[in-house]
Structure formats: structure tokens, C-alpha cells
Structure 1
Amino acid sequence: MLTDLFTPSVLRSLDLAGIFVFAISGALLAVRKNFDVFGIAVLAEVTALGGGLIRDLIIGAVPPAAFTDFGYFVTPLIAASLVFFLHPEVERINGAVGVFDAAGLGLFCVAGTTKAYEYGLSLTASVTLGVATAAGGGVLRDVLANEVPSLLRWDREIYAVPALVGSSVVALLVHFDALSGGTSALAALLAFALRLCAMRFGWRAPRAWNRRSTAREETEGA
């Protein structure tokens, strides 16, 4: 279905763009954690490719593209090298990196949902894998960096919710036989816009109703 909507070269270019910006975010976290050059490269690779690897292994698309297309593997290394040598400059444009990360989120949730459906999964399972494609790399990155994954933290702007919305829209479009290049782009733009709004206005997911925990907040005293 994806190949009916976009040419293979366009798909690959979009994939590599998303991989690059996700790799930048992983490499920047590695620098903040004072990792060495190997750690920077590993975190860049995991952040960029982790979600797609999870999806491909679950749906049986093996070997995953990350192991069959050299560009998928080397792009995170280019991003890691950029951050290794120019991280102060990259940090200064971190806001712009966040925008590109949001764009990658929108693209990957749509691509992940569509690819999962192509491999015979139900719409509900396809939505789940769409979210995993978009957010899985970030979860693996945070775990390797010994941090609570961002999408599980109440004090971070919503991340998985925009991906869930974008993936759900794709599922509805498939259900009503309305998926096309234009509607796929609109679904990606919706997820992108929601993530940008969350970053701009500090939208967060609600915590437990009538919460009475006396546990110390993680952010207190930070």
C-alpha cells in the first residue's frame, strides 16, 4: 500500500530524514550523559532504528531494512559524528531539532501503521505498531541512558498521544478505503501539529484521579 502512495525513492528519503533527526536526539542525550564516542554512536543508532526494528521483527519483515540498506545504518553515524564535533552548536538549535523530531514522529507513526497492515495485522494491532515505530526508539534510548522513558513521565509533554492519534487516523482511513498520499500526509501533519502544540503549551497526560501518593516527586529538588 505504501508503494502505491509514494515511490520507493521518496519513501526512502522520508525514512532517512526521520532517522537522522531521531539520531540527533539520541546523540545529544549521550553527550549530556557524558558518554564516550562509542556510547554516542550506540544511542544514536538505537534511537533512530529501534522503533522500526521492533515493528519489523513483530510483523516478520526480516531481515529488517536497517540490516539490508546501508543508508539506514550509516545515517545515524553521520548524525552522531555531527553531534560529537559540534554538540554546542547543535544544542543551540535544540528547538529546531525538536520540530524535526515531531515531524519524524508524524511520519513514522503513519508509515509504521501502514506497513503493519500490509503484513496482515488487524487495524488495532497496526495502530499499536504505528505508535511503537514512532516512540520505540526513544524508549530504548532512555532505558540505555538509565532514565525513566520520557513517554512515561508526567512532567514531560505528551509524545505517544500524538503518535496514537496519527496512527488511529490512518486506521480509520484504511477502514473506509480512503487512504491516499494526500490523506496519509494529513494524518502525519495532524500528529506533527499535536506534538508541536504539546511542546508549545506544555500539554501533559493526566495522572491518577484523586491521587494521594506521598511519594516524593522526581522533579522536586532537581
Structure 2
Amino acid sequence: MGPIFFLDYVGVALFAATGALAASRQQLDIVGFLFLSAVTGIGGGTARDLILGVPVFWVEQPVFIPVCAATAVLVYFAAHLIESRHRLLLWLDAVALSAYGVFGAYKGLAVTDSATVAVVMGMITGTLGGILRDVLASQPSVLMRPEIYVAAAMAGAVTFVAVYGLGLPLILAAGSGFLVALGIRSGALYFGWTFPRYRSRPGRTPTEAADKE
């Protein structure tokens, strides 16, 4: 197993931890912890593999399911020791997004040899698990928060593809993509970085519409 696959395990484990933390905030039972951990941990990668038309990664390597389960059990017994579980959830999600987004881009590039597909796969892999987690836990979606989220995964994927396309070593490209994504998401969490938001404007009145004709 090459170093790039380490990002796969990091992404799954950390996303699983955020799922378990979400379960703890909802005061679910151990089955709820296991379910949310698994869905969050493998959700993005499952969607990626289905879109790419390749065998789903955790079906080929079932070890990912015990990784999610062990993470869920650990958080179940330790979550009460954490003072701010929501804040920890967001930071673990940031690291998982960065790692998993780069690995998703790598797999997309390896399967299709398309930079565009690689970037899209990085975005899906890095963000879908967190979005599913929030929907299932009935929490405000991280996607709807004002801080930059999906764009961080996209930036990491673009950086990975660009650096690797220059012929530099895979590990350097992966590290560069990870650091860019994590830097942007960290800045969004710490400094509140955002993009300008859409502001609705009132429509034209019937009089104004008539004057235009």
C-alpha cells in the first residue's frame, strides 16, 4: 500500500469520528453511533466509486467497516470528556475533508485520466459524508454554514492535479493538495472566510415592467 492510501484511511476514520460526535450530540444509542459513523465514513467514497463505475472500496476492502465501528465505540465511551463536541466535529471534518478530497481526486485521475473528473471526485469524496451526517442527525448542514467548505475541497483537488500534472512525485502532490485544502478550511473556521453571498432583489413592479415594453 502506497503512502497515498494513508489518506483514504485518515479520511474514513476522521469522518467516522465526526459521525459519532454528531450521534453523541443527539444522545443516540450505540446502534445510532455505529450507523452514523459508517454512513459518514464511507458515504463520500461510496458515491465516488459508484459514479466512476469501479468496485466500491469498502466492499473490496471490508476492513473499513471495522475502522468505522471501532471509532464509533471509542467516541461512545469518550465523548462526555470533550467540552465542545461541535467545535471538535468541525475541525476533524476539516482534516477529513482535506485528506479524503485529495484521495478522491487521485482515484478519479487514476480511473479516468481526466483532470476535470478528478477535481469533481475530490469534491464529492471530501464533502458528501459530512453533508449526509448533518442531514441524518437533523443538524444544520455544514454546507449551509457561511464559511468556505466545498471550495476548500475543490482547491485541494485542483492543487493535487496541478502539481502531479507537472510531473512531481505523487506524495508531494498529495501533501500539497492536503495542505491547501486544510489551510483554506482552517482559515474559514478560524477567521470566518466566506465568499460574497447572493442577495435577493425585489422584482419589478407591474408599472416598471410595462415601462420596459
Which of 115, 119, 122 matches 2:111? 119
Is structure 2 residue 156 aligned with structure 1 residue 163?
no
Which of 71, 75, 100 matches 1:79? 71
AA of the residue aligned to 2:19: G
Is structure 2 residue 40 aligned with structure 1 residue 47?
yes
1: distance between equivalents of 2:97 and 2:63?
Answer: 20
2: distance between equivalents of 1:95 and 1:144?
Answer: 19
1: distance between equivalents of 2:6 and 2:110?
Answer: 20
1: distance between equivalents of 2:135 and 2:85?
Answer: 25
Deviation at 1:121, TM superposition (A): 5.2
AA of the residue aligned to 1:25: T
1:54-77 Cα shifts (integer Å, max 9, x gaps): 111111221x22122232111111
SS of 1:70's equivalent? Answer: coil
1:42-92 Cα shifts (integer Å, max 9, x gaps): 111111111111111111221x22122232111111111112112111454
Count of residues in correspondence between the two structures? 202
Deviation at 1:25, TM superposition (A): 0.9
2: distance between equivalents of 1:143 and 1:95?
Answer: 18
Structure 1 gap ranges (5+): 1-7, 214-222
Deviation at 1:107, TM superposition (A): 1.5
Alignment of 1:142-153 (within 5 A): 142-151=134-143, 153=144
Which of 176, 180, 183 matches 1:190? 180
Moved over 6 A (4+): none
AA of the residue aligned to 1:56: D
Deviation at 1:169, TM superposition (A): 1.5
Deviation at 1:187, TM superposition (A): 1.5
Structure 2 gap ranges (5+): 203-213
TM-score (norm 1): 0.81
Aligned position for 2:13: 20
Which of 36, 60, 63 matches 1:68? 60
Q: Is the 8 A contact 1:102 1:192 kept in 2?
A: yes
1: distance between equivalents of 2:153 and 2:98?
Answer: 6
2: distance between equivalents of 1:76 and 1:150?
Answer: 21
**RMSD of aligned Cα (Å):** 2.3
Is structure 2 residue 133 aligned with structure 1 residue 141?
yes
AA of the residue aligned to 2:8: D
Larger radius of gyration: 2
Deviation at 1:171, TM superposition (A): 2.6
Is structure 2 residue 195 aligned with structure 1 residue 202?
no
1:153-198 Cα shifts (integer Å, max 9, x gaps): 1x44221111111111223234444453213211211111111111
Q: Is the 8 A contact 2:21 2:89 kept in 1?
A: no
AA of the residue aligned to 2:106: T
SS of 1:200's equivalent? Answer: helix
